[in-house]
Copies of this chain bind each other. A is one copy, B any other.
Amino acid sequence: MTELLSNYAAGRWQAGTGNGTPLFDPVLGNELVRVDSTGLDLDETFAFARQQGGAALRALTYRERAALLAAIVNVLQANRDAYYEIATANAGTVKNDSAVDIDGAIFTLGQYAKWGDALGDTRALRDGEAVKLGKEPVFQSQHLQVPREGVALFINAFNFPAWGLWEKAAPALLSGMPVIVKPATATAWLTQRMVRDVVDAGVLPVGALSVIAGSSAGLMDQLQPFDVVSFTGSAETAGAIRAHPAVTHRSVRCGIEADSLNSAVLLPGEAPGSEAFNLLVREVVREMTVKSGQKCTAIRRILVPAEVYDAAAEAIGAKLAGVTVGNPRNDSVRMGSLVSRAQLASVREGLAMLSAHTRVLHDGRDRPLVDADPALAACIGPVLLGARDADTAQLVHDVEVFGPVATLLPYRDSAHAVVLTQRGRGSLVTSLYGRDEAALTRITLAVAGSHGRVHVVTPDVGRAHSGHGNVMPMSQHGGPGRAGGGAELGGLRALDFYHQRSAVQASPTVLAALGLPDLA
């Protein structure tokens, strides 16, 4: 029997009482560890986090809580090698892809440690300036943001066991809210290990951070009015979470990041071989292959002027042909495996669905795997699909294949391109490639309403841009509609979700006595 990972709940390590669910190496197929949360007292877990963890965190100032984040960074850095090993074994990712998750997490924590320190030694944040409520300034209104007096539950996705925890926990802990994380089972090991290291290092108040590795049953039932829940994953599960009475009837605040049909757009007038054309090709190939395309921000739809459709297909296909796929332990491998055989089956199913509306422009499935047994490994080569009529290929705008798959689509003019991006019904990100700044700004403003992020690549930032799918903590992560309507990160904007805004109406003397420092 493999090791049964413990849960950290109510301030102590607790093993589940069931047999556990096994986690596998998606390349070699062997069982690695097991997780189980059977028998956990959820009433106690949530009450303990709310009372012990919440009270301890709220007793600290923002600057003191920022110091906690900095301490977490130190713990994670000290154990970084172990995380890479777990990622290789449990996620099947090559080193560069593991870095997106692990080093991305550490970088994000570090940013919030820095930003939080600048908030100073205060326990409430000023929201705007005081304004007078009548003709005379004798009675005024000052908005505050204060920590929500509840717990933050994270129900996380399998593709980012490290970053998915810390990009949420950093702003939550900085805001003074205790965190309970339920990682996706397939890759729960890395999340559990990071929490274990942080808990064992004793850098956080007891109750500030808990991990439940196992079943999500009963978690939503625990939520009370001042709690929040943040979910990352499929649109279907998102719907079920939003339909839970905790959200519908107890006003639990709910943040959703769902996958979306993100797009990349080559601007009109960019010929094959132009700098913008080449930048699009490079970015598409990168997005299709990083983490084997298992990123909620990955490019799924490639929109190009109709006249360069064939050239784009050829250029992308040629680069994809050079991508080696297989065992991430082999240095010649550029792209590892999907996270599980179940995901491999799901990707194959998605490809079968899309075949009704597309043809295959490049097929990486027929290439041999490096150092991996196709009967065991969850590996699949990249597949570029294409549809000459972007308007009628409805499935391409609806069905996300969560793997190394994207579809090339031709557009007639920039208005048509904008409409096609919007066919995703709300996406996390779109990226635009071109030289014409007037056209770029016009399209940016046209697509901003349906995208949480617009990433503009001009030749002058060809080397410096941060990447279409790379989620920077400075920028909002989350889009409307199909993307879930959430808003994470974006610097200190992320703190809003974990705060309650309140308008204090009082005399200027009382408002001054609140002792809120001015924010520069």
Binding site for B on A (CB under 8 A): 123-124, 128, 131, 133-134, 136, 138-139, 141, 143-144, 146-149, 225-226, 235, 239-240, 242-243, 245, 247-251, 253, 256, 258, 425-426, 437-438, 440-441, 444-445, 448-456, 458, 460-461, 464-466, 472, 474-476, 480-485, 487, 490-491, 493, 500-507, 509-510, 513-515
Contact = CB atoms under 8 A, between A and B. Distances in A.
Contact of A466 (B133, B438, B472, B515): B133
Contacts of A235: 249
A122 to B, nearest CB: 10
B146 A445 contact: yes
A502 B437 contact: no
Nearest to A438: B513
B466 A146 contact: no
A225 B480 contact: yes
B453 A505 contact: yes
Stoichiometry, copies per complex:
2
A245 to B, nearest CB: 8
Contacts of A445: 123-124, 144, 146, 514
Contacts of A456: 504-507, 510
9 contacts: A133-B465, A138-B461, A139-B464, A139-B466, A251-B481, A438-B513, A444-B506, A456-B507, A476-B503
Nearest to A422: B149
A146 B455 CA distance: 16
Contact of A454 (B485, B487, B503): B503
Contacts of A476: 143, 501-503
Given A143-B490, A441-B514, A466-B133, A500 B480 contact: yes
Given A226-B426, A460-B509, 8 more contacts: A139-B464, A148-B480, A225-B482, A226-B481, A452-B502, A456-B504, A456-B507, A475-B503
A332 to B, nearest CB: 30
A454 to B, nearest CB: 5
A454 B502 contact: yes
Given A249-B235, A444-B514, A134 B464 contact: yes
Contacts of A440: 506, 510, 513
Q: Which 9 A-B pairs have the closest CB atoms?
A: A225-B481, A456-B506, A475-B503, A448-B502, A251-B485, A242-B248, A239-B249, A243-B248, A141-B475
Contacts of A475: 133, 141, 143, 503, 505
A243 B249 CA distance: 9
Given A148-B480, A251-B480, A448-B144, A505 B139 contact: no
Nearest to A502: B448
